[in-house]
Amino acid sequence: MSVVIVDGTIPHEVMAKYGPAVILLKPQKKGRGLVAGGAVRTICDLAGIKNISSKILSGSKNKLNNARATMEALKKLKAPKVK
């Protein structure tokens, strides 16, 4: 799986659902760091994202579903258009 990364962050806000888990990922300014917890932090770190903010919107405590929802969100990312 390839992930679109622009200046160490994601190009746009994205939300995804996997089972009961709902994840929101937002781009952050350079130097802000990984503002994420649990499985989301691990997935983003392994993907090479340096600056991102995330929120688990569901009440799901299942780490596997949260990780899969994060991967679904990263799959939804689109490369920015070059002018």
pLDDT tens digits for range 48-59: 999 999 999 998
What CATH topology corresponds to 14-75?
Ribosomal Protein S5; domain 2 (3.30.230)
pLDDT tens digits for range 15-60: 999 999 999 999 999 999 999 988 999 999 999 999 999 999 998 8
- 75: part of which helix (H) or strand (E)? helix 63-75
| pTM of structure | 0.91
